[in-house]
Structure 1
Amino acid sequence: MDDYQVILSPKAVGDLEAIVRYIASSNPEAARKLGQRLLEKTKELSQFPLKGQKVPEFDDPNIRQLILKPYRVVYRVEEEKKRISIARFWHSAQDNLEL
């Protein structure tokens, strides 16, 4: 089986930058580690695209999430393109997930 290509949407990149910047203001080392852990989570999807669970807000089996508490890595499986599109890095305290 060919690995899926994992790409980050512009929104996901912005989310990740905002998360790291926020934490870095009080703990730069923790921010760096968290950023790395979130990105490592996304890499697992290249071989296991359906690893995550369906996102409750969306009735779509191709929109899935991985949980790295308190964050959700929300992604879309694009079967025909063999691609995983990381849509958002979402803090569980935030309301109204938007893709």
Structure 2
Amino acid sequence: MIIVWSRTAVADLEEVRRYIADDNPKAAQETALTILEAVEQLAAFPMSGRAGRVPNTRELVVTGTPFVIPYTVRGKKIEIIAVLHGARQWPMT
């Protein structure tokens, strides 16, 4: 499976990294790596995320972090929609 990150998801991940880095650069790097590694697992297990709150989406809960990754699976393509803090409202209204 091919994993494609939306521009929003890329910007979200960078924002998470920057926000955490303000207090702890090492933790920021570790968190970003944890998110990236979790997303990479979707290539082998695309249906491993829970059913999403938005129709036709799934949500990957990133273990050890407060982050949720909404994504879609279409054919052989997985699209990462966003990187959301679990407290953030989804879908966006």
CA RMSD across the alignment = 1.1
Give the 3-state SS of the residue equivalent to 2:4 in structure 1.
strand
Give the 3-state SS of the residue equivalent to 2:81 in structure 1.
strand
Give the gaps of 5 or more residues in structure 1. none
Normalised to the residue count of structure 2, the TM-score between the two structures is: 0.91
Q: Deviations over 1:20-58 (max 9, x none)?
A: 0000000000000000110111100111111111112x1
Answer whether contact 1:90 1:97 (CA < 8 A) is retained.
Answer: no
Give the 3-state SS of the residue equivalent to 1:48 in structure 2.
coil
Percent identity of paired positions between Structure 1 and Structure 2 = 33
Superposed, 1:6-85 pairs within 5 Å as 6-56=3-53, 58-60=54-56, 63-68=57-62, 69-79=65-75, 82-85=76-79
Aligned pair partner of 1:88 in 64, 82, 93: 82
- Extract structure 1 runs of 4+ deviating beyond 6 A: none
| 1:77 partner amino acid | V
Aligned length in residues: 90
Give the 3-state SS of the residue equivalent to 1:26 in structure 2.
coil
Normalised to the residue count of structure 1, the TM-score between the two structures is: 0.85
| 1:53 partner amino acid | R
